[in-house]
Amino acid sequence: MLFAVEMDVNIPTDLDPEVKADTIAREKAYSHELQRAGEWPHIWRKVGQYSNLSIFDVKDSERLHEILWNLPLFPYMSIEVTPLAVHPSDISLVDGASA
């Protein structure tokens, strides 16, 4: 299943700098692991914000829930999830269409 996920991060300004650095490093390592596994195939930065728009390709909503709840930055995020489906006008679905 494909999901578009918008993640907005709001780390408290008074968070200990060492805790902040460690949390961000763990977040990066975790996201790289998921990207290599193919479950997080796309991630884009939202320009000018501490935010991203990502595409997840997971077996079901429970797996996405597990991934999101295990993000080290999860306690500092607001997240919006949109399930995605193939659009019937997608030209890649038309027989004989070339990319």
* Segment 51-71, tens digit of pLDDT: 999 999 999 999 999 999 999
Instruction: Spell out the alpha helix ranges (H) of 1-99.
Output: 17-36, 61-69
β-partners of residue 42 are 55
**pLDDT reading at 89 higher than 70:** yes
What count of residues does the chain have? 99
**pLDDT reading at 28 higher than 70:** yes
- Domain 2-87 homologous superfamily, CATH: Dimeric alpha+beta barrel (3.30.70.1060)
Range 6-29 average pLDDT: 98
- What are the extents of the domains in the chain? 2-87
pTM: 0.88
Residue 99: band (very low, low, confident or very high) from pLDDT cuts 50, 70, 90:
very low
